[in-house]
Amino acid sequence: MRSLRFTIAKNAIANLIRGGASAVVALVLPHFLTHSLGPDRFAGWALMLQLAAYANYLDFGVQTAVARYLAGALEKGDHQQRDRLFSNAFAILAVAGMIALCGLGIIAWQLPHLFRSVPAGLAGEIGSGVLILGVVAAMNLPLSVYTGVLVGMQRNEFPAIAIATSRLLGAVAVLLVVRWTHSLAWLAFCIGGFNLVAGLVQCVIVKKLLPALRFKFAFLDRATTAELIRYCSTLSVWSFGMLLVSGLDVTIVGMFDFKAVGAYSIAATLIMFFTGLNAAAFSAMLAPVAVLQARQEFDRISRLVIVTTRLNSYFSMGVIVLAFLFGDSLIRAWVGSAYLALTLPVLKILLIAQAVRLVGNGYGVVLVGMGLQRYGLAPALIEGLSNLALSLLAIIVIGPIGVACATLVSAVIAVVVVVFAVLPKIRYLSIDARSFLWQGVGIPLRPYLPVFIILLGRAWLERRVHLSYTERYLPLFLSFIFAGWWIWDGVRRTLQEVRSTATAPKVALDNMGAKSPTV
């Protein structure tokens, strides 16, 4: 069983490198661009990237499907199924690429009418940048099949290196080019060009590792396409729900208040930083979970859900505490005080919303790995639609910060649906909802409670009386001494449970509130 533990750890590290490079770029670029481009042009840059990112949702989950089914085909040594899967997936994403190009072309053409508050001289540049990134997306979508192939082979290190390197080189190119021109079209070309290189590099790597793998028109058939579409249909709706949750915030702000786009996008960038790291780590579970499902070791999958949820909660709550303590200084040092008034409150609200949403992240990844993602359809749609409706209402009533509040409310709604409506339905992973909340959220929350209470009390007092330096920080310091040891001990114990789950052939779950699965 050591190989499973090694595979999960290796893939998680590789995915963290991949997500970490993108996150570093997302953090470094705003620091320089906010000072180089000015408020309006930086807002245009943020809006351009957000609009172009919509093409990624046209992946339809095909990359994930390739990884899952290819892992099974390679395990069985079925080369014909492997090639048939690859050929049909490539064809589907080639069509998706054309749809992406047409859609982004229409957005670029109609941009002045869609975003009326954008300055007239800037709308053309944003549109040109969106069109350039649309062409890159149209080519990269079919190339993403090679990423799925490498993940299915559990060689996550190759896409991690290729994508991480391309992100870093693209950022370097942007920083060099912005010294001579502030054209958003040229900056889009820098980012898009290196993204395309990453896709081509992965294509070369796959041909080295699987030289017999070929795209063949003879393998294009309705049965395989239908199977992929069935698997991906739920993932597509799931992605659509996530688009409504986090993909439209900056766009909605841009449609109603373009000048607030820059400040809001800075907070959203930090959220994407933490969400990307989280997703990168959890996606390493996909192929191993598929293997465990094939072995019918459902008890180990159930334990993975609970211990990874608990570990995730420790991380999320720690980030919230750091943001409330040092968020002001962080934003001033990062992008300057000009963005502080809106960015900081939005960031705090979005971090809490993210912590709530990520309670169900490990469970959702396991559902995808087991091919049960249809059970995540209702929570994703409910969260997405409620977020869209509440965001549109809130930005009209209370402005851009209302969009962040809508995200928090919709996250709470989604977690309630997951815990009390979805958990009881999965007989393979028969986890008690009450125990899931206690083990995944309650235990990590206990050591943080003193810190949260002191932070809330200090904020309430500061509005009424002046607090001395000692009164502000001594209670926090004492609470950190107490909570820090408790948190460290909890994280250490949770990591031990993760290791035991990856090595033990069978794990009893009675003490965790999980029942033995009935298959």
Question: For the purposes of burial, counting CB atoms within 10 Å of the CB of 368, is it exposed (0-12), middle (13-18) or buried (19 or more)?
Answer: buried
pLDDT of residue 104: 92
pLDDT digits (tens, 9 = 90+) for 452-477: 888 787 777 777 777 666 666 677 77
pLDDT of residue 252: 92
Listed as ranges, residues in the chain with pLDDT below 50 are 1-2, 504-519
pLDDT digits (tens, 9 = 90+) for 421-464: 888 887 777 788 888 899 889 999 988 888 888 878 777 777 77
User: 208 vs 161, 201, 203, 211, CA distance in Å?
Assistant: 16, 11, 9, 6
* pTM as predicted: 0.75
Helices first, then strands: H and E counts in the chain: 19, 0
Beta-strand ranges (E) seen in 80-174 are: none
User: Residue 330, CB half-sphere, CA atoms under 13 Å: how many?
Assistant: 16
pLDDT of residue 507: 36
pLDDT of residue 504: 45
User: 97 vs 140, 227, 439, 455, CA distance in Å?
Assistant: 8, 20, 43, 48
Cβ partners under 8 Å of residue 194, min gap 6: 166, 167, 169, 170, 173
Beta-ladder partners of 514: 431
